[in-house]
Homo-oligomer: A and B are copies of this chain.
Amino acid sequence: MAGSKLSDLCLRISAAGFPASLEGADISVASVNTLEDAVEGELSFLSNRKYLRLLETTRASAVIAAPDVAVPDGRSVVRCADPYAAVTVAIVLLHGHRRHPRWGVSARAEIHPSASIGPNANLAPHVTVGEGAVIGADCTLYPGVHIGDRARLGDGVVLFPNVVVYDECVLGNRVTIHAGTIIGEDGLGYAPVGGKWLKIPQVGRVVIDDDVEIGANCAIDRATLGMTRIGAGSKFSNLVAIGHGTKVGENAMFVALVGVAGSVTVGKNVTLAGQVGLAGHLTVGDGASIGAQSGVAGDVPAGVKYLGAPAVEINEAKRQFIAVQRLPGWSKEVNQRLRDLEAELARLRAEMNGGQT
């Protein structure tokens, strides 16, 4: 961490596709921090304008900000139309990605003699690798990772502590899985027979494509038959549950505590916000985005934003939320107006009938 001149940083950010320019002194910065926590000599950034006021108080010596953001004097400013992308480049440059411990192949790892271990393997103590399993090149398996029989890992896979990959499951290249996540457990496959649950052997598997990253303590069911599949480049947060036989397309973004039932088909570039639930056997179109805590009970078209339980188009959902929030007061008002109308009408009727008498 020798640091970087801001001018060099601008070149790097621009080279990554986000034109950036420097305002103010071309100082050297060694690390990136939040506006609140930054100290002198550090670089910070403003992406979410909710935190605009923190520009007044931050001790950062330089900030990344959009061209139209006013930054108080005395700080260098890296101007970039996409400050979030720019700070990503800065963090990669100044801090880099995590450097894993180097275990080589630990004598305390338990590797079945029939397993195939690729070059440059980094297998921690207390790792277990089953019969016929295949580990690609440059894989890092942290302590307590278990690779089941005949499971296969591509190159550059990183599995954090206590990740479990059941038998037969397949992970592509550069798959990263955080601690405690389970890949390929049996799903809830039972037939009701005579008032009890008869287990259906779950003979399928899970296939996770290249460049997927999965958070901590998730659980992805193997398929009953065939495969459960997670598409390339998808990213999951923590405590996500995926049911058996579900297929998720490329570049999905699933937030924490999402639950997807079995036999669901999710298209590409789909976002599921926190605690969303998808019922079984449905289809979510490409590019759909489902808001937090939504419960999806039917197919979702491509490209839409859905919200609510049951989920509907987001603007319709918001109209429903507002209507429900107004309902207690509005229903009182309606009842009063109906009573007033009924009373006035009765009076009119009485007067008219009286007049007719």
User: Which residues, 72 to 109 on A, are CB-close (under 8 Å) to B?
Assistant: 82, 84-85, 87-88, 91-92, 95-98, 101, 106, 108
Contact A215 B239 (CB under 8 A): no
**Secondary structure dominating the interface of A:** loop
Assembled-state Cα–Cα distance A193/B17 (Å): 9
Known A178-B186, A279-B292; contact A199-B213, beta-carbon cutoff 8 A: yes
Number of copies: 3
Q: Residue A274 at the B interface, CB < 8 A? A: yes
Known A251-B196, A293-B309, A349-B348; contact A219-B216, beta-carbon cutoff 8 A: yes
Known A216-B185, A226-B34; contact A328-B337, beta-carbon cutoff 8 A: no
Q: Residue A54 at the B interface, CB < 8 A? A: no
Contact A182 B217 (CB under 8 A): yes
Size band of the interface chain A makes with B: 35 or more
User: Which residues, 264 to 301 on A, are CB-close (under 8 Å) to B?
Assistant: 269, 274-275, 277, 279, 281, 292-293, 295, 297
Known A17-B193, A144-B146, A235-B197; contact A101-B126, beta-carbon cutoff 8 A: no
Known A216-B219, A293-B277, A349-B348; contact A334-B338, beta-carbon cutoff 8 A: yes
Question: A179 — which chain B residues lie within 8 A by C-beta?
Answer: 146, 164, 166, 182, 185
Assembled-state Cα–Cα distance A312/B200 (Å): 32
Which of A4-12, A19-27, A255-263 is found at the contact surface with chain B? A255-263
Assembled-state Cα–Cα distance A37/B312 (Å): 32
Question: A118 — which chain B residues lie within 8 A by C-beta?
Answer: none
Assembled-state Cα–Cα distance A217/B220 (Å): 10
Question: A200 — which chain B residues lie within 8 A by C-beta?
Answer: 87-88, 91-92
Known A96-B201, A144-B126, A149-B101; contact A84-B328, beta-carbon cutoff 8 A: no
Assembled-state Cα–Cα distance A208/B68 (Å): 38
Q: Residue A130 at the B interface, CB < 8 A? A: yes
